[in-house]
Amino acid sequence: MDARYDVIVIGAGAAGLTAGIYLARARMKTLVVDHGTIGGQMILTYSVANYPGVAEASGAEIVATMRRQAEGFGARVLGQADILRMDLSGPDKVVEVEDEGTFTAPAVILATGGVPRKLGIPSEDAFQGRGISYCATCDGDFFMDQDIVVIGGGNSAMEEAVSLTKYARTVTIIHEFDHFQAQPWAVEEARKNPKIRFLMEQDIREFAGDEHLEKVVVVHKRTGEVTAIPATGAFLFIGYVPNTAHLKGIVHLNERGEIPTDDLNRTNIPGVFAAGDARVKRYRQITTAVADGTIAALSAVDYVNERARQPAMPSRRQRFLKERRPVQA
């Protein structure tokens, strides 16, 4: 199989699949590679009700449609593919994939995504999608008139707690310290909301319930007092982890491990673009990832076409022979 492509997309979530659609439709020979399941975080979403033009669908249904579009236009999509090596420094980018071979392309789009930071306790995974959520915008309306908790103390926790009061009967903000990291205005807005109460200096010990979350067990950091808080929903906003550890030393990352880009989604390396949740950005939604994928793809198309219009550099042998050619009298 031909190992030469016009653009290689690393990551097959919302941003990567969108990039694949736009690239393939622009007649770019396109390879989309993901180390995990096609769809990324999107496939874990039980129901998406705020995707424009789609009344309601599961994340898996949207992923299936996106993949079908990308492949229908001619993109090759590889899932569960381990990338063994990447060299993005030269004019021809090199991506080596286990059991598939080595691929090259003049342009690469990094759409490696990211994941919400987790607490890391065993019961967290057990109740993910069964009461535990990391996205208020995605899942808030599933908790209409219910008692829920928000875990965290930054701006996201405060803002999302306020937004969740549109649905929930009560919202309890649980924080591990005696003070918030959020800006004062965000804390004040949360404190003014009559539906919100606060539990400070608490560690989460356990999420408990039968088939669905029923309570959150916390322990006071100073007194050791254990409290079981009745809750059918728990929203965690304790940070975000971009999937970029393997890109360290390959492309420039900021102190949080995010990829900085300009407004055309160009990174610090010519021919390398970034899109989606791995990129420096404030809002992380399916729609913002899709927008990123579009911009990165169109920028990559321009880059590849411009590069093709440039005259080829003469080889070392051609330059040598030209330098030895006698001057005509």
Q: What positions carry a catalytic annotation?
A: 135, 138-139
Residue 282 CB partners (closer than 8 Å, separation 6+): none
Phi, psi of 150 (to 5 degrees): -120, 130
Beta carbons within 8 Å of 115's beta carbon, 6+ residues apart:
41, 240, 241, 243
What letters, b where the CB count within 10 A reaches 16 and e where it falls short, cover 224-248? eeeeebebbbbbbbbebebbbeebe
How many Å is the Cα radius of gyration of the chain?
24
Report the alpha-carbon distance of residue 292 to residue 306 in Å, rounded. 21
Single-letter residue type at 264? L
Smallest CA-to-CA distance from 275 within 107, 147, 94, 90 is with 107
